[in-house]
């Protein structure tokens, strides 16, 4: 095979990948647009007449916390004010080495509680359970460090009492009506076993007493790029898979699960790097194996705001971990791939994730190397290369533009024209550097998974732009 042949075949491989991934994204976009339109048509009506009653399903909110001393009190105070008729809040202190537990005990009047504990899903040893004398629906589980959020979440599942379980990050900022919004699919369809909600970037927003007061955009370049990225990921990434019951990820920052199904699936996997995705895949697998009719669905409402990394070190760490988790989750649930009874999950969603999300970074980074090599060696046909590069960038901008439009049609959280312009500018600029960097980090994550790296709790540097007002 000559060099010319290699270049020719290489071109066709990259072209096929390019056509495949963009066709997939454009289809998700169309499905998401239809889904959001349909959702919004009935949302107001549902809201207006869906007054609370004793028939609402009670929810256990689980907050795993490891060394969250700085934010835990504000977070718990905010979570105790959620708009929902019946819920309990369970904070799991996963062997924090700071004063997270002491702060909780002092602030909320926590007293040791003789919980008749039962271990339904595996987790590290529980040292004790505390109950608040100030807030009757607040309990704290103090346990040995299990090394992961999954282990802490499992301890929470073991002590919770209600039929629905909502696992949230301790540093998440929740919308006051988040539980009411995310419970809607359970009320509409009793076959629902898990629901995810849209997570937005909190950097640049004003947070008061744990609640979002004013939506803003971050001034930090990396955080702003992630705002556009999250719009794409949630508004059409997740919403595009949900109508065909092909949703593979429910963000660990906020997810609502049917408890008995969660327990039946064995709870979170403490060994999983991406425990959120691994759990959703395992739920799909369980339901398929038991041949049960089920729904894993998604609500487009912004229910949770999270802090995004603002420096390269933290962002790299996050992306490497996500890719590692993706590989591991797919491998652990590989029996789903092209499973005869697997439906859209097995035949559409997982193959797409496998080819374009898991292996995508290899093709993308190889593509960059290929182009640079060809350019260096003088093998590159510049006009053709410029055209394909232009198309790649153009499609990237189109997808982001579409996500911004979906946001404007649906929730218009960014009310100023200046904000809208900033998002559009970022939709263009992110194609020059940011996407290439994330592709390289994802490749590193893939390598780390193949080499069997281990995962532990990670503490990211809190963003300076997420202004907490007193």
Site of interaction with another protein (CB under 8 A): 15, 41-42, 44-46, 49-56, 113-116, 118, 131, 187-190, 382-384, 387-388, 390-391, 394-395, 397-398, 401-402, 404-405, 408-409, 412, 417, 420, 424
* Of residues 24 and 453, the one with the C-beta less far from another protein: 24
Supply the minimum distance, in Å, between the C-beta of residue 337 and another protein.
31
* Of residues 331 and 389, the one with the C-beta less far from another protein: 389
Supply the minimum distance, in Å, between the C-beta of residue 162 and another protein.
12
Q: What angle do CA 399, 405, 407 make, to 5 degrees?
A: 105
* Of residues 260 and 289, the one with the C-beta less far from another protein: 260
* Of residues 86 and 459, the one with the C-beta less far from another protein: 86
Supply the minimum distance, in Å, between the C-beta of residue 427 and another protein.
9
3 state SS for the chain: CCHHHHHHHHHHHHHHHHHHHHHHHHHHHHHHHHHHHHHHHHHHHHHHHCCCCCCCCCEEEEEEECCCCCCHHHHHHHHCCCCCCCEEEEEEEECCCCCHHHHHHHHHCEEEECCCCCCCCCCCCEEEEEEECCCCCEEEEEECCCCCHHHHHHHHHHHCCCCEEEEECCCCEECCCHHHHHCHHHHHCCCEEEEEEEEEECCCCEEECCEEEECCCCCCHHHHHHHHHHHHHHHHHHHHHHHHCCCCCCCCCEEEEEHHHHHHCCCCCCCCCCHHHHHHHHHHHHHHHCCCCCEEEEEEEEEEEECCCCCHHHHHHHHHHHHHHHHHHHHHCHHHCCCCCCHHHHHHHHHHHHHHHHCHHHHHHHHHHHHHHHHHHCCCCHHHHHHHHHHHHHHHHHHHHHHHHHHHHHCCCCCCHHHHHHHHHHHHHCCCCHHHHHHHHHHHHHHHHHCCCCCCCCCCCCCCCCEEEC
* Of residues 392 and 460, the one with the C-beta less far from another protein: 392
Count CA atoms within 13 Å of residue 263 on its CB side.
17
* Of residues 289 and 384, the one with the C-beta less far from another protein: 384
Supply the minimum distance, in Å, between the C-beta of residue 225 and another protein.
18
Instruction: Count the neighbouring beta carbons within 10 Å of the beta carbon of residue 318.
Output: 18
Supply the minimum distance, in Å, between the C-beta of residue 402 and another protein.
6
* Of residues 425 and 464, the one with the C-beta less far from another protein: 425
Supply the minimum distance, in Å, between the C-beta of residue 60 and another protein.
14
Supply the minimum distance, in Å, between the C-beta of residue 408 and another protein.
5
Pairing of strands 59-65, 164-168: parallel
* Of residues 1 and 51, the one with the C-beta less far from another protein: 51
Supply the minimum distance, in Å, between the C-beta of residue 346 and another protein.
27
* Of residues 420 and 440, the one with the C-beta less far from another protein: 420
* Of residues 113 and 347, the one with the C-beta less far from another protein: 113
Supply the minimum distance, in Å, between the C-beta of residue 40 and another protein.
9
Pairing of strands 295-306, 192-201: parallel
Pairing of strands 126-132, 138-143: antiparallel
Supply the minimum distance, in Å, between the C-beta of residue 175 and another protein.
20
Supply the minimum distance, in Å, between the C-beta of residue 391 and another protein.
5
- For residue 434, what are its two tokens? 């940011």
* Of residues 408 and 458, the one with the C-beta less far from another protein: 408
């Amino acid at each position: 095979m000559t060099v010319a042949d290699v270049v020719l075949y290489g071109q066709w491989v990259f072209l096929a990948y390019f056509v495949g991934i963009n066709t997939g994204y454009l289809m998700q976009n169309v499905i998401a647009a239809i889904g959001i339109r349909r959702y919004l048509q009935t949302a107001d009506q549902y809201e207006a007449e869906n007054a609370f009653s004793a028939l609402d399903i009670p929810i256990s909110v689980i907050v795993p916390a490891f060394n969250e001393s700085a934010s835990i009190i504000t977070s718990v105070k905010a979570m105790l004010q959620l708009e929902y008729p019946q819920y309990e809040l369970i904070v799991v202190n996963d062997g924090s080495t700071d004063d997270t537990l002491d702060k909780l005990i002092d602030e909320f009047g926590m007293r040791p509680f003789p919980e008749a504990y039962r271990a339904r899903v595996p987790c590290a040893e529980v040292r004790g359970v505390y109950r608040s004398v100030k807030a009757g629906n607040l309990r704290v589980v103090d346990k040995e460090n299990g090394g992961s959020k999954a282990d802490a979440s499992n301890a929470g599942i073991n002590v919770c009492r209600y039929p629905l379980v909502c696992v949230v990050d301790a540093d998440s900022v929740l919308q006051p009506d988040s539980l009411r919004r995310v419970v809607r699919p359970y009320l509409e369809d009793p076959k629902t076993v898990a629901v995810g909600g849209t997570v937005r970037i909190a950097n640049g927003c004003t947070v008061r007493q744990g609640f979002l007061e004013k939506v803003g955009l971050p001034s930090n370049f990396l955080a702003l790029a992630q705002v556009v990225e999250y719009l794409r990921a949630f508004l059409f990434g997740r919403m595009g898979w949900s109508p065909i019951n092909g949703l593979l990820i429910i963000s660990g920052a906020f997810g609502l699960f049917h408890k008995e199904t969660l327990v039946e699936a064995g709870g979170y996997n403490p060994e999983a790097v991406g425990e959120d995705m691994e759990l959703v895949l395992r739920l799909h697998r369980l339901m398929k194996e038991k041949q049960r009719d089920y729904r894993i669905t998604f609500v487009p409402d912004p229910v949770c705001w999270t802090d995004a990394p603002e420096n390269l070190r933290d962002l790299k760490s996050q992306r490497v971990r996500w890719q590692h988790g993706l590989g591991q989750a797919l491998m652990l649930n590989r029996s789903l791939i092209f499973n005869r009874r697997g439906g859209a999950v097995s035949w559409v969603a997982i193959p797409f994730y496998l080819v374009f999300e898991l292996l995508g970074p290899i093709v993308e980074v190889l593509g960059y190397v290929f182009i640079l090599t060809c350019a260096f060696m003088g093998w590159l046909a510049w006009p053709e290369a410029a055209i394909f590069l232009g198309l790649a960038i153009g499609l990237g901008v189109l997808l982001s533009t579409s996500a911004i439009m979906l946001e404007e049609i649906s929730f218009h959280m960014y009310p100023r024209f200046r904000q809208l312009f900033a998002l559009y500018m970022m939709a263009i600029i992110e194609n020059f550097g940011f996407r290439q960097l994330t592709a390289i980090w994802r490749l590193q994550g893939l390598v780390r998974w193949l080499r069997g790296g281990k995962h532990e709790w990670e503490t990211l540097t809190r963003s300076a732009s997420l202004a907490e007002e007193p």
